[in-house]
């Protein structure tokens, strides 16, 4: 199934049912009086954070969310049935944004329009989220169902013996919304394509990410669980590789960067052997710059460097120059392919998270 971490949806809660105008008519019961029942309430649109849902693909293919409306009231003071609420399961870590009117797509009218108008570009960083569903099982009422109307029995009085007044049901809430998934993980592997992030994740956890000798093998975040002593667990996310200018949405751009925001520890995976023809020092500086330009708070996030590919030539020389440049930085030499340094990486995770 296609991995989707950002969607637009239209949500419409159910309308309330109308109140009924009715009078009791039975044999031997003269002047039975009004007995019109109330209309039922409309159903809500409810979002629920579900640990068994890992992306927003279901909403990508079916973006119209509609709850059932309430039925109308009936005679004999029969209350209309309440509309069934629609519960939509979304991944834990989903943010919900209201889309302003000026950014909504205009409806297509084939009588006047030759083709649908282009959908306005939406930058969610300029919007304020309604809610952040970051706790498993957390719910949020996205659209409130409309209340049911009143039957004519509510309008009887000593001066109004034959009321014919009723009220209609209220309209349910509706609107356009954007949903964005930000992967929740304790630590995130950050690096350029082919730096060895997927191999490292497979070595420290039970995850089985795709591994190949070409760039952008990983196209969506993959979360692995690392078992620590004392029955502790740490989640580590393999974030898709980025290129320079990712903060401006180049390459995978924001598809990559949004998933780093929630990580409590950033592990920069650097190809210290320079096997791709890049300079490790420039790689690290570029990665730090991209994160800071996207979100300044990421610059202050705890971080360490995994100096990968220690089994290749020029590793030692580059590592010596790297440590001379960044003397206070935690650097762990490793070779994810052969397993060298993996114990040190796990030890770092124990130090950071075991006591939490």
Kindly report, residue by residue over 82-135, the tens digit of the pLDDT: 999 999 999 999 999 998 876 666 555 566 566 665 555 666 767 889 999 999
- Tell me if 316 sits within 8 A of 343, measured CB to CB: no
- Tell me if 258 sits within 8 A of 5, measured CB to CB: yes
Kindly report, residue by residue over 144-176, the tens digit of the pLDDT: 999 999 999 999 998 999 999 999 999 999 999
- Nearest-CA neighbor of 257 among 271, 241, 270? 241
- Tell me if 308 sits within 8 A of 270, measured CB to CB: yes
Q: How many angstroms separate the CA atoms of 5 and 216, rounded?
A: 17
Bridge partners (DSSP) listed for residue 223: 237
pTM of the model: 0.76
Q: How many CA atoms lie within 13 A of 299 on its CB side?
A: 10
Complete domains list, the chain, with CATH? 1-181 (2.70.210.12), 187-353 (3.40.50.300)
Examine the pLDDT at 64 and tell me if it is beyond 80. yes
Q: What is the SS3 assignment for 256?
A: helix
For the stretch 1-12, what's the b/e string if a residue is b when 16 or more beta carbons lie within 10 angstroms of its beta carbon?
eeebbbbbbebb
Q: Sheet with 6-12: list strands edge to edge.
A: 64-66, 6-12, 174-181, 94-98, 131-133
Q: Which residue has the higher pLDDT, 128 or 41?
A: 41
- Nearest-CA neighbor of 189 among 309, 269, 262, 308? 269
DSSP 8-state class, residue 255? H
Whole-number pLDDT of residue 88: 97
Q: What number of residues does the chain have?
A: 356
Kindly report, residue by residue over 195-225, the tens digit of the pLDDT: 888 888 888 886 654 444 434 444 567 778 8
Kindly report, residue by residue over 322-355, the tens digit of the pLDDT: 999 999 999 999 998 888 999 999 889 888 876 5
């Amino acid at each position: 199934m296609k991995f989707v971490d950002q969607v637009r949806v239209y949500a419409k809660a159910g309308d309330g049912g109308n109140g009924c105008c009715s009078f009791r008519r039975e044999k031997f019961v003269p002047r039975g009086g009004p007995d019109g029942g109330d209309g039922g309430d409309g159903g809500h649109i409810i979002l629920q954070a579900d640990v068994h849902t890992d992306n927003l693909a279901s909403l990508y293919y079916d973006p119209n969310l509609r709850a059932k409306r309430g039925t109308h009231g009936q005679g004999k003071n029969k209350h209309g049935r309440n509309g069934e609420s629609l519960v939509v399961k979304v991944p834990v870590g989903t943010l919900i944004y209201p889309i302003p009117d000026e950014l909504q797509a205009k409806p297509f009218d084939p009588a006047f329009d030759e083709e649908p108008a282009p959908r306005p570009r939406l930058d969610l960083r300029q919007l304020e989220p309604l809610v952040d569903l970051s706790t498993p099982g957390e719910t949020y009422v996205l659209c409130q169902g409309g209340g049911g109307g009143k039957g004519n029995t509510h309008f009887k009085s000593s001066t109004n013996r034959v009321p014919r007044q009723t009220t209609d049901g209220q309209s349910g809430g509706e609107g356009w919304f954007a949903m964005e998934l930000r992967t929740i993980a304790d630590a995130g592997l950050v690096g350029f394509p082919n730096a060895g992030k997927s191999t490292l994740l497979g070595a420290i956890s039970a995850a089985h990410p795709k591994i190949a000798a070409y760039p952008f093998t990983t196209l969506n975040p993959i979360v692995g669980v690392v078992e620590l002593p004392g029955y502790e667990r740490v989640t580590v996310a393999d974030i898709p590789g980025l290129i320079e200018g990712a903060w401006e949405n180049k390459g995978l751009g924001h598809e990559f960067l949004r998933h780093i925001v929630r990580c409590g520890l950033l592990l920069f995976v650097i190809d210290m052997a320079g096997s791709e023809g890049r300079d490790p020092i420039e790689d690290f500086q570029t990665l730090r710059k991209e994160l800071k330009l996207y979100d300044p708070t990421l610059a202050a996030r705890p971080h360490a460097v995994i100096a990968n590919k220690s089994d290749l030539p020029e590793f030692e020389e580059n590592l010596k120059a790297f440590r001379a440049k960044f003397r206070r930085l935690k650097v762990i030499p490793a070779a994810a392919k052969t397993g060298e340094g993996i114990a040190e990486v796990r030890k770092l995770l124990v130090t950071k998270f075991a006591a939490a």
